[in-house]
């Protein structure tokens, strides 16, 4: 009887570990992908991972974003105030893909000097994307 109890406990533990190991969302594709939004001019490609060591979290960001003729490249993350969804004077553009939302100051998206990406489930940081010089590629 004792052996059956041990085997049942081991099977239960294996099931719990398997369930925990499969939790989470799959990694986004690094291929070029169009974002949903007000037009079909926004796309991204590549994946870069930011390691949030303070909370042991790895956060995936697109490596490059194109908006019309402009290209923006991930340069790092910016901390935002607790409870604030974005830096001051930065707004949701209406574009999204997977867990990502694109933010920018008001005005034409392709004319911005910098755009930002938020990641659902990762609070307190946003990805920063300065615009590359005309003709430069990611």
Please report, in tens digits, the pLDDT of each residue of the chain (138 residues total). Answer: 444 333 334 343 333 333 333 345 567 777 789 999 999 999 999 999 988 777 667 889 999 999 999 999 999 998 887 667 677 789 999 999 989 999 999 999 999 999 999 988 777 789 999 999 987 888
Structural domain includes residue 6: no
Structural domain includes residue 10: no
Structural domain includes residue 22: no
Structural domain includes residue 126: yes
Structural domain includes residue 102: yes
Q: Are strands 91-97 and 57-67 parallel, antiparallel or unpaired?
A: unpaired
Structural domain includes residue 2: no
Distance CA 137, CA 7 (A): 58
Could you tell me if 86 and 127 are in contact, meaning their C-beta atoms sit under 8 angstroms apart? no
pTM of the complete model = 0.76
52 DSSP β-pair partners:
57
Domain that holds residue 55: 33-130
Domain total of the chain? 1
Q: Where are the alpha helices (DSSP H) in 96-136?
A: none
What sign does the CA torsion over 7, 10, 16, 19 have?
Answer: negative
Structural domain includes residue 28: no
């Amino acid at each position: 009887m004792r052996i059956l109890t041990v085997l049942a406990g081991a099977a239960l533990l294996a099931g719990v570990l398997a369930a925990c190991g499969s939790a989470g969302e799959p990694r986004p594709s690094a291929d070029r992908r169009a974002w949903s939004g007000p037009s079909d001019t926004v796309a991204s490609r590549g994946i870069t991972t930011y390691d949030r060591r303070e909370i042991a979290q790895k956060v995936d960001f697109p490596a490059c974003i194109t908006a019309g003729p402009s290209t923006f490249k991930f340069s790092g993350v910016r901390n935002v105030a607790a409870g604030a969804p974005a830096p001051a004077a930065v707004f949701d553009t209406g574009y999204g893909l997977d867990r990502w939302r694109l933010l920018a100051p008001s005005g034409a998206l392709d004319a911005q000097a910098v755009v930002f990406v938020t990641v659902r489930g990762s609070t307190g940081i946003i990805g920063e994307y300065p615009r590359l010089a005309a003709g430069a590629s990611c």
